Amino acid sequence: MSKGKYKWIGTRPDRPDGADKVTGRARFGADFNMPGQLVGKVLRSPHAHAVIKSIDASAALALPGVKAVVSAVDFPDQPNLIVPTGEMQVNLRDITRNVMAREKALYEGHPVAAVAATTEAVAKAALDLIKVEYEVLPHVIDVADAMKEDAPILHDHLITEGVKPAPTKPSNIAKRIDNLKGDIEAGFKQAEIVVERHYTTQAVHQGYIEPHATLASAAEDGQIQLWSTTQGHFQVRGFCSRLLNIETSQIRVTPTEIGGGFGGKTVVYLEPIAVRLSQKSGKPVKMVMSRDEVFRASGPAPGGTVHVKIGAKRDGTIVAAECTIALQAGAFPGSPVGPACWTSFACYDIPNIKVVGYDVVSNRPKVAAYRAPGAPISAWGVESTVDILAQELRMDPIDLRLKNAAKKGTKTSYGPTFDTIGFVETLEAAKASEHYKSKPRAGMSRGVAAGFWFNVGADSSAAAHVAEDGTVTIISGNPDIGGSRASLALMAAEELGVDYSKVRPVIADTSSIGFNFVTGGSRVTFATGLAVVNSVRDMIRELKVRAAKTWGVDPDGVIWEDGCAKPAGSNVGEFEPLSLAQLAATAGRTGGPINGHAQLNAQGAGPGFGVHIVDLAVDRDTGIVTVDRYTAAQDVGTAIHPSYVEGQLQGGAVQGVGWALNEEYIYGSKGRLDNAGFLDYRMPVASDLPMIETILVEVPNPHHPYGVRGVGEVPIVPPLAAVGNAVARSTGIRLTDLPLSPPRLSAAIDAATPRMAAE
Amino acid sequence: MAKTHVTTTINGEPTEFLCDASQTMLDVLRDQLGLTGSKEGCGSGDCGACSIMLDDRLICSCLMLAVEAEGKKVETIEGMAHGEQLHPLQKKFVEFAALQCGICTPGFLVASKALLAKNPNPTETEVRFWLAGNLCRCTGYDKIVRAVMEVAAEMRETAR
């Protein structure tokens, strides 16, 4: 740990928003209200694929209490233009159609119209009065089916990108990606052993407990105020501006506290609709999704197929690796197949790699980012295959990974060469752990898997202000989704040399601080942290100027140490140090308020690697898996607030366990989601789990003053295969289709071990 | 239909409200009484974010009709701290980082307090099963379970 090196970094103080969040005082998306507000509700398509022939809202508008109805005609059409959002790219033409269906409804739950009414009951009654004439079309849900020659086509204009020559006919394959390194055929010729398997995963939801919610108020002069639970209020502003043709500075978005997102709140669903309803009705409009709507029409993360082939020497050296990944994009192009491809073999130094990816549309909700988007899916295939290789070579699974581990200088298949990374250190820490050194308890089997994520930098702005009494406010623009206020305040306190309690972090709305990219990609503590550090440095520069003025010396003769301005040396003169409080008290006489500002596009995000170990038992009769022990090791750069770093590892690991064991979108024959609720979409509960042990391996990122690496994404990458590998070692059956749910697992066990017929 | 007049006690305060027969207790708490600490995560009793106490019994307020509060005693997250003093569970949740986003936290606190009132010396397994009706997607439950166990130990120590 970083103990000793720093005063504040590496400590575990209470988070600044702690009291608010344990008393119910913190205000989340649905907790904001305005006088005279209306309730907005969305009418959603009951069909998976249908032409919208007509919409008649006259009866709804005639209902007393209904103040506005909107449908696609109320939103200007958009150009075929790609813009970044979160870790993913979106096409404006598609996003306006996802917010409100235009020509066709493309999935069950696709918004078709929306109403604003005086009460929830009236709004619901109004939805029933909107007459929509549909022409139902054949639909396709599964990726493999959607790729077939005779599949129903979702978009007549969709010609596969990345294929030469370009296809002449539209298909559901939006894009093909190719990553090549070395000579794959020559590589496999050197192999003494080849393992090849085909894997599938199902769509899973991010599962944030807080449904999407927003409150919009459009004033008569064109100015818009929005409150939204989002990972990126600047993105909400940008989307509303583009989708509604409103000048960006006319829109002010205030981020509410956010009840989880995991990537799923980096896009817009309700906000443009609420603004439009507010414009049309002249009243504030509040919209909150039900859980059913969250499942049917937000998120999810894609399911897909992964075909993996790995060739190695008898000593375990991997000489060639190939995988083909096809991911569900949902109704519009834009699955995270890119990151799924790029991360697939990133853990390993392999001379010959071939990766092919397909982005495939089908009649499902458009996928959104979910923690390390795409990476868990390719890792499920690759890390399972590496485990089979370890079994066949009779090698320890950590030793096999150590033999092939990526290091500083390893060139990835997608281009970059790694700088300082900590995969070897993380593998060694996992191997040296008490967990790994001790045998699994009786009846338990062990699985191991690794995972990788790039981490992200990008745009951040921050400001630092000194108050009259010398206390400090740091202002940034990223919603705090898991304790980032605490880590930003710790870095500011460290930099300034003042007590953590003297630093108050504030998250500003879009009009009160410069642009910030979303809270996501594991970028806030790194990039926004860097902006905060730089804003504090800017403030210290000014503090030194003020001290110099007070002393009548050159500012270069002043240093900042332990929260005080001091003379740089005896040649400058003999002066008592000036504290922050003293300099603040005299600020009016030395030049006015003392502030600092910073804006940057952060480069050099340090990639992260994780190694997870799980011990579990499989009940051979029921197929129920009991997780007995779990350890997550990860290179975390520097753990600024170790409790929240551990929390990221624990939470990500458990989401991965859910993905591995139970979670899946289940569709009926009509293309309707059968399990749109927490009862039937089974997320892990406390009684499903043991404690999640963590090992924080600190390999500082050389591109951050405190060595920060993003930590939030990596932990969801290894668990799928770690669980699968343990199940394979427990049952002797290698399952390749997720989830390993009780029905699937017991059926596989039954198939592998025929029973005596019942007498 | 005419609204129903309900007389009840919420966090120790005599309270009256008017509600429709179809309104849930959660709706009335949040939309009429301004007590937005109870959260709606599902509206179907699966996530526990709306947990409250009704006559000392832990319930999901999204599954309770508001008219059922007549003559009863309701306790919500807003009644957990006393003046400036946080409840030991509230303090420990912050100290142990047992919350990340915080949306499930009010429900977990209400449920945890109910557990400790019933069982001051729970095993880890008992804590995990008692809290199985509360979903948290951020923490993986580790720090929540540790915080509850620690507070139980401290409260036993204080009671001795």
How confident is the model over A356-410, as pLDDT tens digits?
A: 999 999 999 999 999 999 999 999 999 999 999 999 999 999 999 999 999 999 9
Measured over the CA atoms of residue B105, residue B111, residue B117 and residue B121, the dihedral's sign is: negative
The pLDDT of residue A88 is 63
Does residue A184 surpass a pLDDT of 80?
Answer: yes
Q: How far is B84 from chain A (nearest CA, A)?
A: 10
Nearest-Cα residue of chain A relative to residue B88: A22
Nearest-Cα residue of chain B relative to residue A632: B140
| Chain A residues with beta carbon closer than 8 angstroms to that of B91 | 22
Widest Cα–Cα separation across chain A: 102
The pLDDT of residue A4 is 75
Q: Are A211 and B41 in contact (CB under 8 A)?
A: yes
Cβ separation of B105 and A22 shorter than 8 Å?
Answer: yes
- Give me B19's structure tokens: 């509600």
A354's CB contacts (< 8 A; 6+ apart) are A178, A179, A180, A181, A184, A321, A322, A323
pLDDT per residue as tens digits for the range B104-141: 999 999 999 999 999 999 999 999 999 999 999 999 99
The pLDDT of residue A453 is 97
Q: CA A480, CA A518: separation in Å to the nearest integer?
A: 11
Domains of chain A, by residue range, sit at 18-25+457-602, 32-137+210-259+265-297, 304-455+606-751
Q: How far is B85 from chain A (nearest CA, A)?
A: 10
Under the banding of pLDDT at 50, 70 and 90, the label for residue A82 is confident
Give the closest of A259, A641, A678 to B42, CB-based: A678
CATH topology of domain A18-25+457-602: Aldehyde Oxidoreductase; domain 4 (3.30.365)
Phi, then psi, of A322 in degrees rounded to 5: -140, 140
Classify residue A341 by burial, with Cβ atoms within 10 Å: 0-12, 13-18, 19+: buried
How much is the average pLDDT of A488-512? 97
Measured over the CA atoms of residue A122, residue A125, residue A127 and residue A132, the dihedral's sign is: negative
How much is the average pLDDT of A15-28? 98
Nearest-Cα residue of chain B relative to residue A690: B142
How much is the average pLDDT of A176-188? 97
Classify residue A223 by burial, with Cβ atoms within 10 Å: 0-12, 13-18, 19+: middle
Rg of the Cα atoms in chain B: 16
pLDDT per residue as tens digits for the range A407-430: 999 999 999 999 999 999 999 999
A707's CB contacts (< 8 A; 6+ apart) are A2, A606, A637, A638, A698, A700, A701
DSSP conformational letter for A119: S
Under the banding of pLDDT at 50, 70 and 90, the label for residue A747 is very high
Does residue A45 surpass a pLDDT of 90?
Answer: yes
Cβ separation of A260 and B138 shorter than 8 Å?
Answer: yes
Does residue A757 surpass a pLDDT of 70?
Answer: no
The pLDDT of residue B83 is 86
Give the closest of B35, B135, B144 to A678, CB-based: B135
Q: How many CB atoms lie within 10 A of CB A434?
A: 9
Q: CA A599, CA A477: separation in Å to the nearest integer?
A: 11
pLDDT per residue as tens digits for the range A519-562: 998 999 999 999 999 999 999 999 999 999 999 999 999 999 99
Give the closest of B95, B96, B140 to A653, CB-based: B140
Under the banding of pLDDT at 50, 70 and 90, the label for residue A156 is very high
DSSP B66-91: GGGGTT-EEE-GGGSSBTTB--HHHH
Whether the predicted interface score ipTM is above 0.90: yes
Cβ separation of B105 and A17 shorter than 8 Å?
Answer: no
Does residue A278 surpass a pLDDT of 50?
Answer: yes
Q: Are A65 and A149 in contact (CB under 8 A)?
A: no
The pLDDT of residue A753 is 84
pLDDT per residue as tens digits for the range A665-674: 999 999 999 9
Classify residue A543 by burial, with Cβ atoms within 10 Å: 0-12, 13-18, 19+: buried
Does residue A572 surpass a pLDDT of 60?
Answer: yes
CATH ID of A304-455+606-751, from 3.90.1150.10, 3.30.1490.20, 3.30.450.20, 3.30.365.10: 3.30.365.10
Q: Are A344 and A333 in contact (CB under 8 A)?
A: no
Classify residue A732 by burial, with Cβ atoms within 10 Å: 0-12, 13-18, 19+: exposed
| Chain A residues with beta carbon closer than 8 angstroms to that of B141 | 654, 684-686, 689
Rg of the Cα atoms in chain A: 27
- Running along chain B, 160 residues long, what does each successive block of 10 average in pLDDT? 94 97 97 97 98 98 98 98 95 98 98 97 98 98 98 92
Reported for A92-96, long-range contacts at CB under 8 A and 24+ positions apart, including other chains, are A92/A242, A92/A243, A94/A332, A94/A333, A94/A334, A94/A366, A95/A239, A95/A243, A95/A267, A95/A268, A95/A332, A96/A243, A96/A272
Q: CA A430, CA A443: separation in Å to the nearest integer?
A: 22
Give the closest of B46, B135, B143 to A647, CB-based: B143
Q: How many CA atoms lie within 13 A of A576 on its CB side?
A: 5
CATH architecture of the domain covering A32-137+210-259+265-297: Alpha-Beta Complex (3.90)
Q: Are A39 and A281 in contact (CB under 8 A)?
A: no
Cβ separation of B103 and A647 shorter than 8 Å?
Answer: no
Does residue A89 surpass a pLDDT of 80?
Answer: no
Q: Going from the N-terminus, what domains does chain B have, and what CATH number goes with each?
A: 4-79 (3.10.20.30), 88-159 (1.10.150.120)
Q: Are A404 and A321 in contact (CB under 8 A)?
A: no
Q: How far is A29 from chain B (nearest CA, A)?
A: 10
β strands within A386-476, DSSP E: 445-453, 458-466, 472-476
pLDDT per residue as tens digits for the range A687-707: 999 999 999 999 999 999 999
Q: Do domains A32-137+210-259+265-297 and A304-455+606-751 have the same CATH topology?
A: no
pLDDT per residue as tens digits for the range A203-253: 999 999 999 999 999 999 999 999 999 999 999 999 999 999 999 999 999
The pLDDT of residue A3 is 55
pLDDT per residue as tens digits for the range A505-529: 999 999 999 999 999 989 999 999 9
Q: CA A326, CA A115: separation in Å to the nearest integer?
A: 38
Q: CA A18, CA A645: separation in Å to the nearest integer?
A: 16
Cβ separation of A15 and B94 shorter than 8 Å?
Answer: yes
Q: CA A256, CA A723: separation in Å to the nearest integer?
A: 36
Measured over the CA atoms of residue A677, residue A682, residue A688 and residue A694, the dihedral's sign is: negative
Q: CA A542, CA A356: separation in Å to the nearest integer?
A: 53
Give the closest of A17, A21, A689 to B141, CB-based: A689
A526's CB contacts (< 8 A; 6+ apart) are A455, A456, A457, A602, A605, A606, A637, A701, A704, A708, A709, A710
The pLDDT of residue A759 is 42
How much is the average pLDDT of A266-279? 97
Does residue A685 surpass a pLDDT of 50?
Answer: yes
Q: How far is B92 from chain A (nearest CA, A)?
A: 10
The pLDDT of residue A756 is 55
**% residues pLDDT > 70 (chain A):** 98
